[in-house]
A and B are shown apart, each in its own frame.
Chain A
């Protein structure tokens, strides 16, 4: 039986087990929305801006490991997705984004709401498609999901001209989609695993360095098992937080520009670094010429381009993190007994522990204790205490993100959802919507700044409409705090355009949308009011007035080496 392109789209989504889609209708996709109404098993979340449809799908994907899915119209609907797509691309998040397009015969005509979205998103998608023939539609959707989730995951865009959605053909879901040009390597080369093991055996000061790839590939169990059996100290990038429990003694914290002292010292004094699913970006390495000067680097990554892109690598291991870590674990005891591994790095671990106690992650608590001003770090510590670390935390970007990374102490993978690569302000709240829909029973908290939250605050309507009990915790300093911090430290306190004293009354704003609002101004109110707010079953804003000119430390100035940290 012949069915329309619109019907094929939804049949295909069901074949891909999609039951949740974020979107926004418009002229070019009105036929799709007409068809959508006949598929009650696919839940559609109507957002208030297309950018947030993508961030919400992204938050859903990060929280679950599944492919996130969204549907928007042509022209401005499509261009509004670009920031969301680029955010997902930078952090390797699997998404399939469907955009409407003008009818084929109008493409290239500068038609109403026409834009070359395939051209626009070419550099920020893993791949994209324009479907001009309805007979190709099922195959393209199958390929889009396959490409999005396999290898190094990423967003894929499928552009759907309006007339193609009305054309009819037989629905044939391809069983297999052989692609001669796309066959990502998943099995690591055994020789490279043996070489990696040789370096680890000879290492006196090894470091296991986890990145977002560990989380994306669900390898945190493998990582933890290897770290414990070989007694390897573990550090992580921002994207790797949660890959190893922060309460374990082998955990030494986050590396990089706002990494902790001991983690940066560990990397810079290590003789072997085993990096798993990291891409050594500039916020992690600081000045490349002084990064890890003594270390032989073993680099495990699914994407060959990540290897030797930024740092020299002695042992490249291309493959999935679970397979590589398991492979290395299996050969670890061929030449050394378990008790030898347990004893081998004792001196190094003592050294790390002493660096940790020398310069623990800390902040000046005095202003907080005189009863007048709340320290933002204390807010995150309080959040951790009240949630017992068992919450899904999303962040916006800036100081709120760094304090969360530093002070929350993530224990599990997929509990920190943050825009690491692109650094997208306005990401956290819609991502929380995606995560809350994926896990209705979980506590989901967006740690925000007063600047970031205003970038996508319109989604309060979406959250309230779907009765999502998301908590938005605003660290309100009435500044674009991170830029202000740079201006203070490097631009002689020239606070140009970073003061945001003109802001809405967030409590009233919450109420106007039908959400709940709390304001916390005094340190003694912090815990009781936050506890009350976290218990709320509504969408809730918690507006915490914090010390206005607090800085994030440690800090490695841009372009400096990790050994040039500014401390509290």
Chain B
């Protein structure tokens, strides 16, 4: 089962290595992990997507919390969650194919962020399934390069 963890950590050297080392050392899976500073001073936020049964998820959560620089660990599994991922995708786009690529980009609300004589670079945002669909549809044109952020997630406001 897929789980999304929202983790606040002290923004200090080695913290990413502690988290990554925990997953590799204990044989937990990481599908994606992203990390960046937040508005709180000295705090970084990680979103970790992982797989495992309930018992494994419980261990992952507790083991993360046991790391000294980890401040909070929230499992967003089951909760009402907003989740997005961003992707840059560079695709071959000769004159004859460019129109079709742009139409597909429009359907998925992608932005064109770079263009040259033979290539287009698109920015796409959405959940994993949407980004996978963009990739699938553009594959036949010849994808040159992809960069994905991995999921970011947050609980919806409870009002």
Contact = CB atoms under 8 A, between A and B. Distances in A.
Interface in B38-73: 55, 58-59, 62-63, 65-66, 68-71
Contact of A305 (B13, B21, B59): B59
B68 A123 contact: no
A309 B59 contact: yes
Interface string B132-155: 000000000000000000000000
A245 to B, nearest CB: 33
Interface string A99-140: 000000000000000000011001100110010000000000
Contacts of B58: 308
A127 B18 CA distance: 10
A130 B17 contact: no
Given A181-B71, A304-B65, A118 B14 contact: yes
Given A305-B62, A308-B55, A308-B58, A181 B14 contact: no
B4 interface: no
Interface residues of B, number: 19
Contact of B17 (A119, A181, A305): A119
A180 B70 CA distance: 9
B71 A180 contact: yes
Contacts, number: 35
A122 B69 CA distance: 13
B91 interface: no
A379 interface: no
Interface in B10-29: 10, 13-14, 17-18, 21, 25
Interface in A390-423: none
A123 B68 CA distance: 12
B17 A122 contact: yes
B62 to A, nearest CB: 4
A490 interface: no
Contact of A182 (B9, B21, B25, B68): B68
B99 to A, nearest CB: 51
Interface string A166-195: 000000000000011110000000000000
Nearest to B9: A181
A303 interface: yes
A181 B68 CA distance: 6
Nearest to B14: A118
A147 interface: yes
Contacts of B63: 305
Given A180-B71, A304-B65, A122 B55 contact: no
A127 B68 contact: yes
A289 to B, nearest CB: 14
B68 A126 contact: yes
Nearest to A307: B62
A123 B55 contact: no
Contacts of A304: 62, 65-66
A119 B13 CA distance: 11
Nearest to A152: B66
A130 B63 CA distance: 22
A127 B69 CA distance: 9
A147 B58 CA distance: 23
A181 B62 contact: no
- Max chain A Cβ within 10 angstroms of own Cβ: one of B63, B68, B71: B68
B66 to A, nearest CB: 6
Q: Closest 3 A-B residue pairs measured CB to CB?
A: A127-B68, A305-B62, A181-B71
Given A123-B25, A127-B68, 4 more contacts: A122-B21, A181-B9, A181-B10, A181-B69
5 contacts: A118-B14, A122-B17, A179-B68, A182-B68, A304-B62
Interface of A: 118-119, 122-123, 126-127, 130, 147, 179-182, 303-305, 308-309
